[in-house]
Amino acid sequence: MTIVKELKATSRPRAGKGAARAVRREGRVPGVIYGDKQPPLTISVDEAELHQRIFAGHFLTSIYEIDIEGAKHRVIPRDYQLEPIRDRPVHVDFMRLGEGATIRVRVPVRTKNAEAAPGIKRGGTVSIVTHSVELRCPADAIPEAIEVDLAGLDINYSRHLSDVTLPPNVKSAGKIDPTLVTIVPPSGYAEEIKAAKEAAAAAATAPAAGAAPAAGAAAPAAAGGDKKAAAGGDKKAAAGGDKKPADKKPADKK
């Protein structure tokens, strides 16, 4: 259930730049309430209070009940302008909310269970690609944030809006499925992956290139070679090695 906050304002009968400047000189911020098929109502709110509400966060997703001299107006802030130098609010717009109103609102994106993401354990970093998403939801059930579960998410993988379970009666107001979060690899990760692939490829081809001959494959050749060598050696030895020069007998003298 959305918490309704209270804000006091005063009626501002005159519109225009001159009237707005006069209001600011009094320490107040000019604004307008519009919508719900009713005429616009010009108002002013205290500058210090409005500044605090804006910078407290969730200003544009909070429901307010504005009290204008006893009359209650249920509204949601739609826009505000800040002075560029000092960040002082200079204007604010509120939209009336009728009974059972459905509105479009931008809701911030948050992450959870980062410690359960394998990509984070391997040195990756969470990168929020889309910081807020536009949703269509009942005015009384505006989500505080869209939580993206990172459990099981590895490096170079992402979560999209379609991966998130939205609360009941809450739908995406966009026509595309935006990428919400991704795990960015650490520095040098690509080089490590390349080196690992090259090492694996080298290991796969190493046995084929330098494989030892099968047992017994060289044996016949060796055996045959030894036999030939042995046979040739023996024959030569037998043919010439065993022969001795014949003893010459002296010729008979006649």
Phi and psi for 189 in degrees, rounded to 5?
-65, -40
Gap between the Cα atoms of 79 and 35, Å rounded:
14
Gap between the Cα atoms of 93 and 30, Å rounded:
9
Residue range 168-208, pLDDT digits in tens = 999 999 888 999 999 999 877 667 777 777 777 878 887 65
Residue range 19-41, pLDDT digits in tens = 899 999 999 999 999 999 999 99
Is there a contact between 9 and 67 (Cβ–Cβ < 8 Å)?
yes
Q: What share of the chain is helix, strand, coil (3-state, %, to 5)?
A: 30, 35, 35
Would you say residue 225 has pLDDT above 50? no
Order of strands across the sheet that contains 179-184? 125-128, 179-184, 158-160
Element (H, E) at 64: strand 63-68
Residue range 108-146, pLDDT digits in tens = 999 999 999 999 999 999 999 999 999 999 998 999 999
Mean pLDDT across the stretch 48-73? 94
CA 85 to the chain's CA centroid: 34
The reported pLDDT for the residue numbered 212 is 53
Tokens of 213: 């001959």
The reported pLDDT for the residue numbered 150 is 97
What domains does the chain contain, in order, with CATH numbers?
4-99 (2.40.240.10), 104-190 (2.170.120.20)
The reported pLDDT for the residue numbered 199 is 77
Would you say residue 80 has pLDDT above 90? yes
Residue 68 CB partners (closer than 8 Å, separation 6+): 8, 9, 10, 11, 41, 43
Element (H, E) at 199: helix 189-209
